[in-house]
Amino acid sequence: MYHYVGKTALITGASSGIGEVFARALAKRGMNLIIVARTESKLRNLAHELSNQYKVNVDILSIDLGKPGAAQSVHQITREAGWRVDLLVNNAGFSTLGAFETISPELEQQCVMVNIAALLDLTHAYIPDMLEQGEGAIINLASVLSFVGGGRQATYAATKAFVFSLSQALWTDYRKRGIRVFALCPGPVSTGFFDVMGSKAKLNFMGLMDKPERVVEVGLKAFEKGKPYELVSWFTNATAFATRILPRTLMSRIVYFMTVFIYKSDGK
């Protein structure tokens, strides 16, 4: 089991969506928080609400993790402030959508910076601290697309494959050194994620669209048991299982057609 009370979690992308739900869930469990996102006003409102409701300390850091050196700045600020980080939740991320040649290379680079570089830099920064503390934990937001290339979301799927692979390697490296590493692998979740992509997902057919509250609760239960990763729904489990028995080329085409349908993409 994992004991939350009195410890501190640093959560990226905490101003909305899954990150905000993580902040609420961990505060409810008695954790102090360091919440990180770009929009300071949202962070301040959330910090005020959670500190009053759960009587925990909530500090905020308004910073764009897509900027070079941002992760190092986060680590430096927390060290100088004397904030110990017991749990790092690497949640910040976004996706591009569409035919690869139509997407701005600058936007794709930004996706890689947030989804991979910031996560990698934060993990590099805090693992030595956790080793020095004698314990620690990291939760990384992966995806069902970690298991198969995502048509129309080529770069995003590639970044999440990196996140999942890194998480599994670190779970192996550090599980006997006092640090647990966990990858959470949801499918489509009803958050503002789709608005950032400039797309409106279709209706929740067959229960495909999950709620962020359920994703976080299922994820934390698996994390508490010491699992290396968790597939949170029938859809994610079915997709991961299918990659074991179907050719990867077929799976990629299936995901492509599902993406065109779900995200109302024109398929060109």
User: What residue has token string 């697309």?
Assistant: 145
Upper half-sphere CA count for residue 170 (Cβ side, 13 Å):
26
User: What residue has token string 């298991």?
Assistant: 147
Measured in degrees and rounded to the nearest 5, phi and psi for residue 180 equal -100, 135
What are the residues facing 140 on neighbouring strands?
Answer: 90, 183
User: What is the helix, strand, coil percentage profile of the chain, to 5?
Assistant: 55, 15, 35
Is there a contact between 13 and 119 (Cβ–Cβ < 8 Å)? Answer: no
**Does 156 participate in catalysis according to the annotation?**
yes
Is there a contact between 51 and 58 (Cβ–Cβ < 8 Å)? Answer: yes
Q: Of 156, 174, 256, 263, which one is the catalytic site residue?
A: 156
Catalytic residues: 156
